[in-house]
């Protein structure tokens, strides 16, 4: 459908070119398809959001007045919880109206409930909006991309909004419209005469202070935990987090509660699982998740926000079976088996090899003892296994990340002589294979992450003397190799399931 503001009408054109117009009470501005076979539209001059559903000759029009007078709702899109989300530039807010779809399987929604969420930064002027599993919006005056999620706050005992801002590098770019596409979220910058893109693959790389840059978690032999907050190769803050008995190990780093700050996933020698929910350098809550037999190991964690949960924890047992826990906070919402693979195949990574905006769920990267490489593309909990190729066993997969910023996971390799190479991927296709350089074998690649916030994954190194360094990557080029510092060797970087 299309809107005709001057005529107070909503128009519809079929694939055969037949146009039908439907009168509406007020002047429409933006329009979007809802999850309930209806179309929703904004009416900024009157502070209303409209809904129109057409079934045969029956036309059903419903209107919802936004809570804030002068909110002037403009852009609208389907977003989290099955609701329609809209920007209110006149009130510096983001709003929502619920539909009959709740976003929770088997639970109907209550239509017509309105929400109103003030932006934390005054005068940001939210305009373009896009949804899906999260609410994204443009801050035109603030020159930022904004994200709204929700998380449980134990200090107030309730679900609260969590705002994350991603500043646009070019000042006064006056961003306006946005859309999800290849490689992430794209937006127009008319003030700078350019198009911008926010990569959505690298923002999920162990970022604890919500600045869009990866940070580094440490643990010593006594069980103490600390974090380095990073800005490029500079440690902006070094802080102690706490301690845990050495029977417990850090086995993953993801944002399990959706507050924008990554959390620490723990497991002990008896199979118990727990999470430290982080707020920057502070443990705001410690929660027990559950337990699994010790024949099962955690082999991957990934952010996978949908109607089911916020993150996935992947498991594999000694017989080769693979399962997943779909998490929402510390709650296992769904636990299900995925499939099985022979014991000579190992899971060596997870990611989004098609793209961060594809319909595939998290993909699983495999390699066997003979050097064969394959990917499981999972859809609806069912894997499709596709082989990629074979690499001599002198080469090992040492990490995954989005090294060229195209929104797709790539594969990082290193051989026994210290040479480093990368496969830039598009699904199962190796689009480019290139060497990145070499480092002495006393240096180990410990993890990948976007340490400078450029939307591309970088490589973190640690040597046997405790020295730390970063290779900043742009595709197949090392743009900078920088030392970070030195740490006593009783401390080790915690990198399990963090890429």
* pLDDT score for 318: 97
pLDDT value at position 48? 94
Residue 298 has pLDDT above 50, yes or no: yes
Q: What percent of the chain has pLDDT over 70?
A: 91
Highest mean pLDDT among 58-62, 259-263, 280-284, 482-486: 482-486
β-strand pairing of 93-97 with 372-379? unpaired
pLDDT of residue 341: 97
Q: b/e map of 247-277 (b: 16 or more CB within 10 Å)?
A: ebbbbbbbbbbbbbbbbbbbbbeeeebbbbb
Query: Cα–Cα distances in Å, from 436 out to 39, 177, 439?
Result: 50, 37, 10
Contact 130, 78 (CB under 8 A): no
| Of the listed ranges 117-121, 287-291, 460-464, the one predicted with least confidence | 117-121
C-alpha dihedral sign at 201, 204, 206, 207 = positive
What pLDDT shows up at residue 204? 66
Is pTM, for the whole model, over 0.85? no
How much is the average pLDDT of 111-124?
Answer: 90
Decide if 412 contacts 420 (C-beta within 8 A). yes
Tokens encoding 50: 């409209």
Pairing of strands 76-78, 84-88: antiparallel
Mean pLDDT confidence for 479-484: 98
Reported as a pLDDT band with limits 50, 70 and 90, residue 355 is: low
Q: Is residue 93 packed enough to be buried (19+ CB in 10 Å), middle (13-18) or exposed (0-12)?
A: buried
Q: Which residues 6+ apart lie within 8 Å of 152 measured at CB?
A: 158, 159, 160, 257, 329
Tell me which of 72-86, 134-148, 353-367, 435-449 is least confident: 353-367
Mean pLDDT of 367-376: 97
Question: Of 172, 176, 213, 212, nearest to 195 (Cα)?
Answer: 176
Tell me what percent of the residues of the chain surpass a pLDDT of 90: 65
Determine which helix (DSSP H) or strand (DSSP E) holds 379, and give its type and residue range: strand 372-379
pLDDT above 80: residue 359 = no
Looking at 4-18, 94-108, 232-246, 453-467, which range is the least confident one? 94-108
- The answer, yes or no, to whether residue 200 has pLDDT greater than 90, is no
For residue 215, pLDDT beyond 70: yes
What does the DSSP 8-state code read for residue 108?
A: B
Res. 483: pLDDT tops 90 = yes
Mean pLDDT of the chain, nearest integer: 89
Tokens representing 112?
A: 């017509």
Per-residue confidence (pLDDT) for residue 356, from 0 to 100: 53
Alpha carbon distance 259, 210 (integer Å): 9
- Residues 494 and 226: their CA atoms lie apart, in Å, by 10
The pair of three-digit structure tokens given for residue 383, joined into one six-digit string: 């894997």
Residue of 253, 258, 259, 289 whose CA lies nearest to 271: 289
Q: In the block, which residue shows the tokens 């401390």?
A: 491
Nearest to 74 by CA among 63, 93, 87, 61: 87
pLDDT of 445 reads: 98
Q: How confident is the model at residue 453 (pLDDT cuts 50, 70, 90)?
A: confident
Of 49-63, 69-83, 90-104, 347-361, which gets the smallest average pLDDT? 347-361
Is 321 in contact with 337 (CB distance < 8 Å)?
Answer: yes
d(CA 439, CA 231) in angstroms, rounded, equals 23
pLDDT at 133 over 60: yes
CB 111 within 8 A of CB 35: no
Q: Does the pLDDT of residue 260 top 70, yes or no?
A: yes
Quick one: pLDDT at residue 152? 64
Q: Exposed e or buried b for every residue in 198-215, given b needs 16+ CB within 10 A?
A: bbbbbbbbbbbbbbbbbb
CA 98 to chain centre: 24
- Does pLDDT of 150 surpass 80? no
Whether residue 474 is predicted with pLDDT greater than 70 in this model: the reply is yes
Collect all residues with Cβ–Cβ distance below 8 Å to 206 and sequence separation of at least 6.
214, 215, 216, 217, 253, 262, 447, 449, 498
CB distance 412 to 456 below 8 Å: no
Q: Is 28 left (phi over 0), alpha (psi -120 to 50) or beta?
A: beta
CA distances from 187 to 127, 129, 141 (A): 11, 10, 14
pLDDT band with cut points at 50, 70 and 90 for residue 169: confident
Residue 238 has pLDDT above 60, yes or no: yes
Interval 305-352: pLDDT, tens? 554 456 889 999 999 999 999 988 899 988 999 999 999 999 999 988
For the record, the structure tokens of 197 come out as 């893109």
């Amino acid at each position: 459908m299309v809107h005709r503001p001057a005529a107070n009408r909503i128009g519809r054109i079929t694939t055969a070119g037949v146009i039908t117009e439907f009168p509406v009470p007020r002047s429409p501005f933006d329009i979007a398809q809802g999850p309930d076979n209806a179309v929703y539209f904004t009416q900024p001059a009157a502070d209303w959001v409209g809904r129109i559903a057409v079934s045969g000759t029956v036309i059903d029009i419903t209107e919802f007045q936004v809570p804030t007078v002068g909110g002037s709702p403009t852009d609208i899109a389907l977003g989290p919880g099955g609701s329609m989300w809209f920007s209110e530039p006149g009130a510096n807010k983001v709003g929502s109206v619920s539909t009959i779809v709740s976003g929770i399987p088997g639970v109907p929604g209550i239509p017509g409930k309105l929400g109103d969420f003030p932006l934390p930064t005054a005068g940001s002027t939210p305009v373009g909006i896009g949804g899906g599993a999260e609410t994204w919006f443009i801050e035109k005056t603030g020159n930022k991309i904004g994200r709204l999620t929700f998380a449980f706050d134990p200090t107030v005992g309730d679900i609260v909004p969590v705002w994350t801002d991603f500043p646009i590098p070019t000042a006064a770019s006056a961003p306006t419209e946005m859309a999800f596409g290849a490689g992430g979220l794209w937006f127009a910058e008319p003030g700078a005469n350019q198009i911008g893109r926010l990569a959505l693959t690298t923002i999920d790389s162990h970022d604890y202070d919500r600045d869009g840059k990866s940070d580094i978690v440490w643990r010593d032999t006594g069980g103490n935990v600390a974090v380095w907050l990073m800005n490029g190769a500079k440690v902006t803050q070094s802080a102690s987090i706490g301690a845990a008995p050495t029977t417990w190990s850090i086995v993953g780093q993801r944002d399990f509660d959706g507050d924008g700050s990554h959390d620490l996933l723990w497991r002990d020698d008896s199979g118990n699982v727990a999470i430290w929910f982080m707020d920057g350098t502070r443990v705001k809550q410690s929660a027990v998740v559950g337990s699994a037999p010790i024949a099962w190991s955690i082999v991957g964690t990934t952010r996978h926000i949908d109607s089911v949960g916020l993150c996935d924890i992947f498991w594999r047992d000694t017989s080769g079976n693979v399962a997943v826990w779909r998490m929402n906070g510390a709650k296992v919402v769904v636990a299900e088996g995925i499939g099985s693979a022979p014991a000579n195949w190992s899971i060596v990574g997870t990611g989004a090899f098609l793209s961060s905006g594809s319909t595939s769920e998290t993909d699983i990267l495999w390699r066997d003892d003979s050097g064969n490489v394959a990917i499981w593309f999972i859809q609806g909990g069912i894997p499709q296994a596709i082989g990629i190729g074979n690499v001599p066993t002198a080469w090992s997969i040492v990490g995954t990340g989005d090294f060229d910023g195209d929104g797709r996971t790539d594969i990082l390799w290193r051989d026994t002589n210290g040479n480093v190479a990368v496969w830039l991927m598009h699904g199962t296709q190796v689009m480019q294979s290139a060497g990145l350089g070499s480092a002495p074998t006393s240096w180990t690649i410990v993890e990948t992450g976007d340490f400078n916030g450029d939307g591309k994954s970088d490589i973190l190194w640690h040597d046997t003397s405790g020295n730390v360094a970063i290779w900043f990557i742009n595709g197949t080029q090392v743009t900078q190799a920088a030392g970070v510092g030195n740490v006593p060797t009783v401390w080790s970087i915690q990198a399990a399931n963090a890429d």
